[in-house]
Structure 1
Amino acid sequence: MGFFTSINMTWIATFMSVAALGSLIVFFWAATTARDPMTRRVKALNARREQLKAGITASTRKRTPLNKKSQSTDRMRKILASLKVLQGTQIREAQIKLAQAGIRTKDTAITVIFGRLVLPVVLGGGVVIAVYGFGCFSDWSWIKRYLLVAGSLIGSYKAPDIYLKNLITKRTAAIHKGIADALDLLVICAEAGLTVDAAFARVARELGKGYPELADEMALTSIELGFLTDRRQAFENLTSRVKLESLRGVVTTMIQTEKYGTPLASALRVLTAEFRHERMMKAEEKAARLPAIMTVPLILFILPVLFIVILGPAACSISDNMFKN
């Protein structure tokens, strides 16, 4: 028995040592190969700049020689067109959602639509065959098996939309955190005499490390302001890419200053004060909710320990006196 115990302890110690060494290697690899989050975004922005230089609008794109990815996308497009399920409105809606998620490749819209068609057939059909064809989960009741099949079909159809919605929510929250700081920097740039596109480019460079998502959008807006004939279209593209009401107010202010020639610095200063006030109100709201949130942990974890500490010595002394008597 002691022999097997020593073997087990040896194996456990060896396994823990190997796991610790592997974790250390992964840590050093992640630390040494950390990439700049703006590298990929800068490449995408440069590609967008070249497209605008060539006079390519948002709805068309210059065809390049087909690679494997584009060939697979063309196959998906042909399949969807043959089934007559590919519509222009679907593609535009998918492209808007992908842009809000930070994905600007137009071929991905075809992939999303194709995924909505194929995933229910593959995953949902596989579950149907496994449950009703091969008799899997035969010990379950019929309603449980029906709910499993229905859930797999609906979930596989909604999976691309749910994934995109999650990306949009995370990206919108990340952008919202940096709007107040971006407005402060825009005020400084406007007071320094920079134009709107130059101010956007400067703020994008300053916010590249802290808020890469917001810096990406501002840099793209700066490029579009410099190349598009209608500057209003550049601001409207920004609101379509970022689903955020606070940013929509900033864009409306920018459009009004461009149209009526009002001072940009004063308008942005008012917006900055509103954002600071809104942030303070949200902080006060969270602080006001704290007592109600702390009630349950207080009852479950703090009060029992407090009763034990206070009443424990008295209970021990009472029990000792009773046993003595």
Structure 2
Amino acid sequence: MVELIALSPFMRSAFLLLLFAAVSGLAFLAIRALLGRRLVLDRLEEQSRAAISESAAASLQASEVRASAWARLTERIERGGLSLGDSDPKALQRKMIAAGFRSPDAPKIFTLIRLIMIVALPSVIVLPQLASSEPPSPLSLYLQGALFATMGLVLPNLFLTAKADRRRQEIVNGFPDCLDLMLVCVEAGMGLEAALDRVAREMTTSHPLVAETLLQTNLELRAGASREEALRNMADRTRVDEIRAFSTLLIQSDKLGSSIATTLRTYATEMREKRRMRAEEKAHRLPVLLSIPLVACMLPVMVGVLMLPAAVRVVREIAPAMTGGG
């Protein structure tokens, strides 16, 4: 068969045509399968993005409903003559924004919650004692009421500070990854605004707080704010030293006309180095932190185990001999 194909020009041409048709058919089937798989992946990605956007919209709508209810309550209280304004409203507003509460009515709601806790916390503790058969002395009730009223005044501030610190730490941990992605986008030819938008959409799942910060900055740029103003607002909102330094570097690069890619590469390296140093610092603190439970829990047990045989021998042999009973 091979000799017949080799000797006959017609058979050789027919064989080559069949081989070409077979290879072309296999290639067509492979390309079609790959395109079908790509279409399925694109459809799944669109569905996942739609689900994420729907859940985000639902959570945003629920938060807006709660905020509007609190806002109506504060408005009614202020109409009644009780002012819910703070002595330093700008500082309180910055604290609320750093903790993630961006509503204009958030400081008034926070003041209202503090007032409620000042009254409610002592009432929950003191009133049951007054209703008992043997109520405590007035001095004890006064001291307990003052203590729990102070706690009601301080606990909301502690909660706000803890929430702001937790958000700040999450932003610091996710910002080096953000810089790496932004560097890739800028080196690929994107502008700063397009890079911010792309990185924010990519980091929605992994680092949502960083994505939220970048999205808000990009919205300010689209609304007409200058690049310097938008970057400074981003640093003021987050109150993170790393982002403040990053904003300053970008503003200086924009004014001096230097390469943004070079700035991002240098600062991304510095941020990764800082993150590594923070991890090493936590690792070096572990032996010191572990020594406290070791000394407090294991050392008395070890001393007891070592001293118990000697104590038993003293009780059984030496003590009777010294008292003359042995």
Normalised TM-score (structure 2): 0.65
Q: Separation in 1 of the partners of 2:143 and 2:52? A: 42
Residues 169 and 39 (structure 1), Cα distance of their counterparts in 2 relative to 1, 3 Å cut = farther
Which residue of 2 is the match for residue 228 of structure 1? Answer: 224
* 2:276 pairs with 1:253: no
Matches within 5 A, 1:27-38: none
Matches within 5 A, 1:175-324: 175-296=171-292, 300-301=297-298
Letter in 1 for 2:268: T
Stretch deviating more after TM superposition (88-97 or 245-254): 88-97
Q: Separation in 2 of the partners of 1:229 and 1:263? A: 22
Letter in 1 for 2:102: R
Q: CA deviation at 1:88?
A: 7.4
Residues 143 and 271 (structure 1), Cα distance of their counterparts in 2 relative to 1, 3 Å cut = farther
Q: Is the 8 A contact 1:98 1:164 kept in 2?
A: yes
Stretch deviating more after TM superposition (260-269 or 77-86): 77-86
Which residue of 1 is the match for residue 106 of structure 2? Answer: 108
SS in 1 for 2:206: coil
Q: Separation in 1 of the partners of 2:216 and 2:59? A: 9
Q: Separation in 2 of the partners of 1:293 and 1:202? A: 42
Q: CA deviation at 1:303?
A: 11
User: Bigger relative contact order, structure 1 or 2, given CA contacts below 8 A and separation 6+?
Assistant: 1
Letter in 1 for 2:204: G
SS in 1 for 2:205: coil
Letter in 2 for 1:138: P
Q: What is the root-mean-square deviation in Å for CA atoms of aligned residues?
A: 3.9
Give percent identity, aligned residues only.
Answer: 28
Which residue of 1 is the match for residue 95 of structure 2? Answer: 97
Q: Separation in 2 of the partners of 1:233 and 1:40? A: 31
Matches within 5 A, 1:118-137: 118-125=116-123, 127-131=125-129, 133-134=130-131
Q: CA deviation at 1:279?
A: 1.9
Letter in 2 for 1:277: E
Unaligned runs of 5+ residues in structure 1 are 1-34, 47-66, 313-325
Q: Separation in 2 of the partners of 1:135 and 1:302? A: 46
Alignment deviations for residues 259-299 of structure 1 (CA, whole Å, 9 cap, x no partner): 22221111111111211221222233233333333445556
Q: Separation in 2 of the partners of 1:71 and 1:297? A: 48
Residues 243 and 144 (structure 1), Cα distance of their counterparts in 2 relative to 1, 3 Å cut = farther
Unaligned runs of 5+ residues in structure 2 are 1-49, 310-326
Letter in 1 for 2:227: R
SS in 1 for 2:119: helix
Residues 230 and 82 (structure 1), Cα distance of their counterparts in 2 relative to 1, 3 Å cut = farther
Q: Is the 8 A contact 1:228 1:234 kept in 2?
A: no
Alignment deviations for residues 196-249 of structure 1 (CA, whole Å, 9 cap, x no partner): 111111111121111111111111111111213322221122112212111111
Matches within 5 A, 1:162-181: 162-181=158-177
Residues 137 and 244 (structure 1), Cα distance of their counterparts in 2 relative to 1, 3 Å cut = farther
Letter in 2 for 1:203: V
Normalised TM-score (structure 1): 0.65
Letter in 2 for 1:246: E
Residues 75 and 195 (structure 1), Cα distance of their counterparts in 2 relative to 1, 3 Å cut = same
SS in 1 for 2:190: coil
Q: CA deviation at 1:129?
A: 4.6
Alignment deviations for residues 122-171 of structure 1 (CA, whole Å, 9 cap, x no partner): 3335545555x5468735x7765444212221122233322222221221
Q: Separation in 1 of the partners of 2:90 and 2:255? A: 29
Q: Is the 8 A contact 2:86 2:111 kept in 1?
A: no
Residues 120 and 287 (structure 1), Cα distance of their counterparts in 2 relative to 1, 3 Å cut = closer
Aligned partner (choices 121, 135, 138) of residue 135 of structure 2: 138
Q: Separation in 1 of the partners of 2:187 and 2:116? A: 54
Pick the structure with greater CA Rg.
2
Q: CA deviation at 1:71?
A: 6.4
Alignment deviations for residues 299-321 of structure 1 (CA, whole Å, 9 cap, x no partner): 6559978x98xxx9xxxxxxxxx
